[in-house]
Structure 1
Amino acid sequence: MPEGLTDDGLAAMLVRGLRPTRVTLVEHDPRWADRFGARAAELRRVLGERARLVEHVGSTSVPGLAAKPIVDIVVGIDDPDDEQAYLPDLEAIGYDLRVRESQHRCLRAGDPDEPVNLHCYPPEHAETRKYLVFRDRLRSSPEDRERYESVKRDLAQREWRDVNFYAEAKGPVIREILARGGWTD
C-alpha cells in the first residue's frame, strides 16, 4: 500500500470500499504455519508454474509474535495486472478480490475463523522482497520482534477507518526494522 493514504485514494483501490475496524491481536498460534502449508499446496496445485513463488509473510509467519489471526501469503505472479491469466482460478477456489492496484492484487479467502490474505505481486517486485526481508529480520531478532509487537499493541487500541490505515501507521517501525535487516530503497 502506498504511504500517505487518503479516504478517496484508498477507496479507489478497494473493491468493496473502506471498512471501519478495530484490530485484534492474539498470541502466536503454531497452527498458522499449517494453515499456510495447506493453502500453499492448494495454490501451487491450482496455479502451477504461474505461481513463481509462494511465501508465508506477515506477523503470522514469525514464531512468538502476536498477530491479527490472518495468514498472509505472497504469490509471485509475472503480471498481476493480467487478471484473466490467474484470477478466475483463484476465485474458483474461494478467493475474493479486495484490492486492485498496479502490479498488486490482494484477495481474501477462508471462513471467518481462518482467514487468508493473498498478495499477488511480480516475484521480483520490491514489495515482495520487502515482505521477505522484514519477515526474516523479525524471525532472527528478538529485539526487533518485541519492538514491532509493542507498536502494534499500541496501535490496536484505536479504531481505524480501514485496516489499511493501521498498516500505514506501522510504516515508521517497519522502515526501521527493514533498514536493520539490510533493506535499502
Structure 2
Amino acid sequence: MTPWKGGSSAAGFGVVATFAGITRHHDPDPDENPWVHGPPAPVTVRIVPHDPAWPRRYRELASGIRAALGAAVLDLEHVGSTSVPGLAAKDVIDIDLTVADPRAEEAYVPALERRGYVLTIREPSFHEHRCLTLAEPRVNLHVFGPDCPETIRHRLFRDWLRAHPGDRVRYQEAKLAAIPGGGTVMDYNARKQATIREIHDRLFRAHGML
C-alpha cells in the first residue's frame, strides 16, 4: 500500500494514512448508536447560494477554537460546501479539528462546551469521529485524530471542487435533487452519496490513488 504523501505516524493510533485507506468508502457500524443526546428530528434542508462571508465566518470560528484549546489543536480546516467558492450550500460551517486522540474527550470537549458547542455524535467505529455542533452561527465541528483518512478525503474533495467547475455543478445539482423526500440531514446526505462517490473516483484516479 502506498502511504499518503506528507503523512506521519499517527499519535495514539500508530498508523499512517495509505492510498488504500483514503480511497476506501468507510461507513460507520450500522449497529452503533452515534447520538449522544438521542437521534435528530426530521428537518427541512435549505440550500442557499454561496455566501462570500462564509470564509470569514470560518476564520472567526477557528480563532475561537484555537483560543479555547491552545496546543490541543493539531490542525483546523474549513471543509464542506461552504468552503468551495460558487457552490450553493446549507448555511452551516463544517470544520475538521485534528487532536492527538479524539477518545480523550476531556482534552477538548469541556473547553468547547464553554463556548456553546454541544457534543452531538460519537462514532468509535468511524475513525473515532466526534461531532460538536454550535447553534449560532451554525457549525458542525468534526473531530478526528492525526493522519485520519477521512480528513484527507474532505480536503481532497474540497480542493477538487474548487478546481473543477464541472464537478462542482454536478455536486450542486445532486444536492438540490436530494432535498425532496424530507427526513433527517443524514437522509439527505444518503440521497446525494452516489454523486459524491463518482466524484471521489475521478479525483482518486487523477491523483494516482487507484
Q: Fold-level match, TM-score > 0.5? A: yes
Distance in 2 between residues matched to 1:123 and 1:138, nearest whole Å: 24
- Select between 39-48 and 52-61 the one with higher mean Cα deviation: 39-48
Given the alignment, which residue of 78, 83, 105 partners 2:105?
83
Q: Which residue of 1 aligns with 2:142?
A: 119
Aligned AA (1:54): L
Given the alignment, which residue of 156, 160, 175 partners 1:133?
156
- Contact residue 3 and residue 168 of structure 1 kept, 8 A: no
Q: Which residue of 2 aligns with 1:52?
A: 74
State the 4+ residue runs in structure 1 displaced beyond 3 angstroms: 1-6
Find the residue that maps to 1:159 and give its secondary structure.
coil
Find the residue that maps to 2:77 and give its secondary structure.
strand
Distance in 2 between residues matched to 1:130 and 1:43, nearest whole Å: 22
- Contact residue 96 and residue 108 of structure 1 kept, 8 A: yes
Aligned AA (2:129): H
- Contact residue 95 and residue 109 of structure 1 kept, 8 A: yes
Given the alignment, which residue of 61, 85, 88 partners 1:66?
88
Find the residue that maps to 1:42 and give its secondary structure.
helix
Q: Shift of the alpha carbon at 1:21?
A: 1.6
CA RMSD of aligned residues (A): 2.0
Q: Which residue of 1 aligns with 2:14?
A: none
Cα distance change on mapping 1:4 and 1:170 into 2, 3 Å: farther
Counting only pairs closer than 5 Å after superposition, residues 101-120 of structure 1 correspond to structure 2 as 101-102=123-124, 103-111=128-136, 114-120=137-143
Cα distance change on mapping 1:94 and 1:15 into 2, 3 Å: same
Whichever of the two has the greater Rg, that structure is 2
Question: What are the Cα deviations for residues 49-99 of structure 1, in whole angstroms up to 9, with x where unaligned?
Answer: 211110000000001000000000000012111111111111111100110
- Contact residue 28 and residue 123 of structure 2 kept, 8 A: no
Q: Which residue of 2 aligns with 1:13?
A: 34
- Contact residue 28 and residue 65 of structure 1 kept, 8 A: yes
Give me the identity figure in percent. 40
Aligned AA (2:34): M
Cα distance change on mapping 1:4 and 1:47 into 2, 3 Å: closer
Question: Which has the larger share of helix?
Answer: 1
Given the alignment, which residue of 92, 113, 118 partners 1:96?
118
Q: Unpaired segments of 5 or more residues in structure 1?
A: none
Q: Shift of the alpha carbon at 1:170?
A: 2.0
